[in-house]
Amino acid sequence: MTAGLDYTVIARDGAARLGRIETAHGTIRTPAFMPVGTAATVKAMTPEAVRTTGADIILGNTYHLMLRPGAERVARLGGLHKFMNWPGPILTDSGGYQVMSLAKLRRIEESGVTFQSHLDGSSIALTPERSIEIQHLLDADITMTFDECTPFPATAEVAAQSMRLSMRWARRSREAFVARPGYGLFGIVQGGIYSDLRTESAAALRDIGFDGYAVGGLAVGEGQTLMFQTLDVTVPHLPADRPRYLMGVGKPADIVGAVQRGIDMFDCVLPTRSGRTGQAFTRRGTVNIRNARHAEDGRPLDPDCRCPACTRYGRAYLHHLSKADEILGHMLLTQHNVTYFQDLMAALRQAIEAGELAAFVDAFARAQTAGDIPPID
Amino acid sequence: MTAGLDYTVIARDGAARLGRIETAHGTIRTPAFMPVGTAATVKAMTPEAVRTTGADIILGNTYHLMLRPGAERVARLGGLHKFMNWPGPILTDSGGYQVMSLAKLRRIEESGVTFQSHLDGSSIALTPERSIEIQHLLDADITMTFDECTPFPATAEVAAQSMRLSMRWARRSREAFVARPGYGLFGIVQGGIYSDLRTESAAALRDIGFDGYAVGGLAVGEGQTLMFQTLDVTVPHLPADRPRYLMGVGKPADIVGAVQRGIDMFDCVLPTRSGRTGQAFTRRGTVNIRNARHAEDGRPLDPDCRCPACTRYGRAYLHHLSKADEILGHMLLTQHNVTYFQDLMAALRQAIEAGELAAFVDAFARAQTAGDIPPID
């Protein structure tokens, strides 16, 4: 096995690909959805439960982990896989996004970013080199280059400056990365919603050379139309023999549309965060389990779902737990949502393999807009 | 099977008894510890996980369940067992204790109690008849008589008045209870720390006749010495052929001492509540996992424990989760604590069967006071 990640395309259906990525900690079946394990835990789930949903890989957040428990500490304890008892592949983000969204008093310079910890207010510097070092200490199978997440909306000039800074940081990230078999580094295309900037960014990353290519800076408020337009102008400029990752996406319909456009990997807090606020994803669209209509409904949340929340309990119980803010409610709805997302990915993979993606997408869209099952009585 | 509960004493060791209670929903091995499932959930655990710990029976709180989701609603949904997917025995308390500890603007009269809901401030009446009806609607295997929890400290006069009110309510509870095979009603001995009042209360309950006898009004701040003294003067006045239940107890050492004094059943929020605040019960005493000494300790919380928290993770990870207030930390520490309590009960049952309870109690006390494992480095 040579340094980097083996990636194989098994089947194609239009622009969509069925594939496999081989990492030091196992295989990732693509298209793949990565549950977010921010602080070394996919919130409200055991790693065994995460695996049961069908997830091959989870995501860890460099920003959170560097602050608590600390990358050097995780390394001394044997790495993130051992620390959190997740033996499968892990992708870590670079920390750039959370520095923008969570930290205070940021200062961005050519060298990197200085910010205040949202936990204790301490001043912390993050550079491309330090971000890559942290991800190495965590033992991430897939490391992301350090980038600046361009805000939305941004003028073309701002987006260009931001993207070019990220490209210089991408080169420094590549130089800092320690290549090993089964470990890979992904570059991140930036450029906002501007097709010329996206093209320029993709070319810059191809010149450097990465094990995979991510599309960053989307799902930040631009809406599905602009997101898909940006994918349409970006994906053709990414190498066909490398996996493609759409960061921070997203809603089921976003994922389906992005898979049709050739994206192989996704991550989003939506299934886990929604599980803690009573929003459930089902084959008939989203259901707010806290709605009073469910209070005496003993039927399953989603009769076609295999998860414990759907096979062992009725809506009335899930409604009760969620209204009472009981931890078990968060546990069950999170497991349901992650199961739904993994079943969606499995169905997409099956449709690509069978060459029936278009029919699947039609049926998916019809079911999603059909509305929830009618109330009883 | 006749109305009521079959109770068999299998072995004795001093005053301690090994026994079995047969209920409509299965067998309870005694001495038994009942995890508390306040609002139709043992907090942070699935019912399957509760069963895995070895628990035969759980406790539900009438006060919480009558307010949310409501007893009539639970009945319409098929009862508490089906609602929360716990097929085993359930004991419900009568609501009296929570009315005293949680509700506001209480008014106690001969007929019953009027109080304000702690959830929405609505005014609610609870009488012995209504408490028994609620527990019937919930389908409790073991129903508790409605009583007034005498405050501590209380003068002999106050304790006597309170106890005699509870005895009149016990008779009304008995009359309201619908006897069926596999379902039982327990009376509750009151009388504070006054031996003559406890004797009078036990006699009053024996006259009425119950399927089991609880000792109430303890673990309210009187301390272990007064608790054990009160058991010493109370238990001999309880029928030998009926199970005895010490309500709201307690710490492991309290349970061990009470078993030695002839108590068969216990309940307490300690293992579940402590799991959410980072306090762990182990074979070497309690451990505060949030203490900084655990931050880089990869060793198991309790190397002799079979639970997932101890077999799959190190102290450093549990420390991290608890400090970060992650739900998984609550889940793992709760399951550990409930497992510890159930393993303690299993060890007590084994010791009674072998006639080695005294030796077990000696070894237990030595281990509990030995202190936690020494820090590494």
**Nearest CB neighbour to A321, from listed B41, B78, B327:** B41
Residues A73, B324: C-beta atoms closer than 8 Å: no
CA nearest neighbour of B314 among B299, B302, B328, B332: B299
Compute and round to an integer the Cα radius of gyration of chain A. 20
CA distance B84 to A327: 14
pLDDT of residue A377: 63
Provide mean pLDDT across the span B303-327. Answer: 98
Taking only the tens place, the pLDDT of each residue in B179-217 is 999 999 999 999 999 999 999 999 999 999 999 999 999
Which residues in chain B are closer than 8 Å to A84, comparing Cβ atoms? 313, 317
CB of B320 within 8 Å of any CB in chain A?
Answer: yes
Q: What is the CA radius of gyration of chain B?
A: 20
Q: Is A316 on the interface with B (CB under 8 A)?
A: yes
The DSSP-derived string for A4-25 is B-EEEEEEEETTEEEEEEEETT
Residues in chain B: 377
Torsion of CA A250, A253, A258, A264, to 10 degrees: 60
> Is residue B376 pLDDT above 80, yes or no?
no
Q: Which helix (H) or strand (E) covers residue B356, if one does?
A: none
Query: Cβ distance A21 to A30 under 8 Å?
Result: yes
How many other C-beta atoms are found inside a 10 Å radius of the C-beta of residue A299?
13
Give the least confident one: A351-355, B1-5, B346-350, B360-364.
B1-5
**Residue B64 predicted with pLDDT over 80:** yes
The structure tokens listed for A33 are 């959805």
pLDDT at B151: 87
Q: Is B306 on the interface with A (CB under 8 A)?
A: no
Q: A73 in contact with B at a CB cutoff of 8 Å?
A: yes
A331 vs A315, B40, B44, B59, CA distance in Å?
Answer: 15, 15, 8, 21
The proportion of chain B whose per-residue pLDDT surpasses 90, expressed as a percent, equals 92
Residue B342 has pLDDT above 60, yes or no: yes
> Residues 43..62 of A with a Cβ closer than 8 Å to B: which?
43-46
DSSP-assigned letters across all residues of A309-375:
HHHH--HHHHHHHHHTT-HHHHHHHHHHHHHHHHHHHHHHHHHHHHT-HHHHHHHHHHHHTS-SPPP
Domains of chain A, residue spans: 6-267, 275-368
What pLDDT sits at residue B377?
63
Which of A96-110, A185-199, B139-153, B294-308 has the weakest average pLDDT? A96-110
State the pLDDT at residue A191.
97
pLDDT (mean) for B254-273: 98
* Beta carbon pairs, A and B, within 8 Å: 100
Q: pLDDT tens for residues A236-264?
A: 999 999 999 999 999 999 999 999 999 99
Pairing of strands A123-126, A244-246: unpaired
CA atoms within 13 A on the CB side of A281: 23
Alpha carbon of B172: minimum distance to chain A alpha carbons (Å): 32
Q: Inter-chain contact A39–B296, Cβ cutoff 8 Å?
A: no
Q: How many CB atoms lie within 10 A of CB B365?
A: 13
Can you give the pLDDT at residue A1?
A: 55
Q: How confident is the model at residue B1 (pLDDT cuts 50, 70, 90)?
A: low
pLDDT digits (tens, 9 = 90+) for A210-219: 999 999 999 9
CA distance B165 to chain A (A): 33
pLDDT tens figures, B101-115: 888 878 999 999 999
Q: Which two tokens stand for residue A5?
A: 């990640």
- The residue of chain B with its CA nearest to that of A73 is B296
As assigned by CATH, the class of the A6-267 domain is: alpha beta
pLDDT > 70 fraction of chain B, expressed in percent and rounded: 99
Has A120 been annotated as catalytic? Answer: no
Distance CA A315, CA A295 (A): 7
Say if residue A68 is exposed, middle or buried (CB neighbours under 10 Å; 0-12, 13-18, 19+). middle
pLDDT at A177: 98
Q: Tell me the mean pLDDT per 10 residues along chain A, length 377.
A: 90 98 98 98 98 98 96 98 98 92 87 93 95 98 95 95 98 98 98 97 98 96 96 98 97 98 98 97 96 97 97 98 98 98 98 98 95 83
Name the nearest CA neighbour of B282 among B252, B237, B256.
B252
Using the beta-carbon criterion (under 8 Å), do B328 and A39 form an inter-chain contact? no
Res B103: pLDDT: 82
Q: How far is CA B197 from the centre of its chain?
A: 23
State how beta strands A285-288 and A279-282 pair: antiparallel
- The residues, ordered by sequence, that sit 6+ positions from B128 with a Cβ below 8 Å of its Cβ are B112, B145, B146, B169, B170, B172, B173, B176
Q: Is B323 on the interface with A (CB under 8 A)?
A: yes
Among this protein's residues, is B120 annotated catalytic?
Answer: no
Rounded to an integer, the average pLDDT of B9-27 is 98
Nearest to A73 among B46, B85, B296 (CB): B296
ipTM associated with this complex: 0.97
Contacts of A324 in chain B (CB under 8 A): 39, 68
What's the pLDDT at A129? Answer: 98
Which chain A residues have a beta carbon less than 8 Å from that of B68? 320, 323-324
